[in-house]
């Protein structure tokens, strides 16, 4: 109930204020209020609004206004500044603070420019490093391909060498077999003939090394006979034949335990 009375009071006061404002505007504008519908009978017929006459705009010139103004130039500018100050707000910063802020901003701007230049230089260096690494990668890939090709070639050559080694081993085995067969035949010849004849044949046909290979394959008694005949027939060369025989005999002795 109390709220309803408050709202009603607010409404009546608002309507009264609006009505008074409307009537005041009409009176000031020079409109006869007695001619208004509704509220005209409340006013007398002879009530008229007193409006101060104003000169026509064409009657007042700018020169006349300046002549009528008795203020000095300084006062005119001061009054104009007062009027304009109504539209300006006081600055929250002093001039010193603004100068300091400007200096800080300038310093930071210079630092940012230096960092940007440094970043540009680093980007250029990184790009050069990337290009260098790309070149290295290409070179390494070429070397890797070359090594793989060389490895394939080495494997082929290794297989070829293995094959040749086997062939050489087989040839050596065949040669050794042939040599053994030849030596066996010679041993039989020197064993069957007389010692004097066999020694002469041995001296004429074999070098000290070849004669030693034949002597070591004979029995001990035959070796003694032939060595005595060699010493008798060629006493100057006997030492060479005997030394070769000793080396061959020692070599044969070492191979025997194996």
pTM for this one? 0.34
pLDDT at residue 110 in the model:
92
pLDDT at residue 26 in the model:
63
pLDDT at residue 199 in the model:
83
Residue whose pair of structure tokens reads 């000793």 in the numeric block: 246
9-to-1, 3, 5, 13, 17 alpha-carbon distances in Å: 12, 10, 6, 6, 12
* Spans of the chain below 50 pLDDT: 47, 49, 51, 256-258
Residues 164-222 pLDDT 10s? 778 888 888 877 777 777 777 777 877 778 888 888 888 888 888 888 888 888 888 88
Distance CA 125, CA 130 (A): 8
CB 202 within 8 A of CB 211: yes
pLDDT at residue 107 in the model:
92
The DSSP letter of residue 193 is S
pLDDT at residue 257 in the model:
47
254-to-92, 100, 249, 250, 257 alpha-carbon distances in Å: 115, 106, 9, 6, 7
Residue whose pair of structure tokens reads 């006869």 in the numeric block: 32
pLDDT at residue 69 in the model:
65
pLDDT at residue 258 in the model:
41
pLDDT at residue 55 in the model:
53
């Amino acid at each position: 109930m109390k709220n309803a009375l408050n709202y009603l009071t607010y409404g009546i006061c608002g309507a009264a204020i609006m009505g008074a404002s409307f009537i005041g505007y009409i009176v000031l504008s020079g409109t006869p209020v007695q001619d208004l519908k509704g509220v005209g009978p409340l006013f007398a017929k002879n009530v008229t609004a007193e409006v101060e006459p104003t000169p026509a705009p064409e009657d007042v010139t700018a020169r006349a206004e300046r002549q009528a103004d008795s203020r000095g130039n300084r006062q005119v500018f001061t009054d104009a500044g007062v009027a304009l100050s109504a539209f300006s707000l006081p600055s929250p910063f002093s001039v010193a603070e603004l100068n300091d802020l400007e200096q800080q901003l300038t310093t930071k701007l210079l630092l940012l420019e230096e960092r940007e230049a440094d970043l540009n230089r680093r980007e250029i260096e990184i790009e050069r490093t990337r290009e260098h690494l790309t070149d290295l990668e290409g070179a390494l890939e070429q070397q890797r391909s070359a090594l793989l090709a060389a490895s394939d070639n080495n494997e082929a050559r290794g297989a070829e060498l293995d094959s040749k080694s086997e062939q050489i081993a087989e040839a050596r085995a065949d040669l050794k077999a042939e040599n053994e067969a030849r030596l066996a035949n010679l041993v039989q010849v020197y064993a069957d003939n007389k010692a004097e004849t066999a020694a002469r044949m041995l001296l004429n046909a074999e070098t000290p090394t070849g004669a030693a290979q034949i002597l070591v394959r004979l029995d001990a008694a035959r070796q003694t006979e032939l060595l005595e005949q060699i010493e008798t027939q060629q006493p100057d060369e006997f030492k060479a034949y005997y030394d070769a025989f000793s080396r061959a005999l020692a070599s044969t002795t070492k191979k025997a335990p194996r």
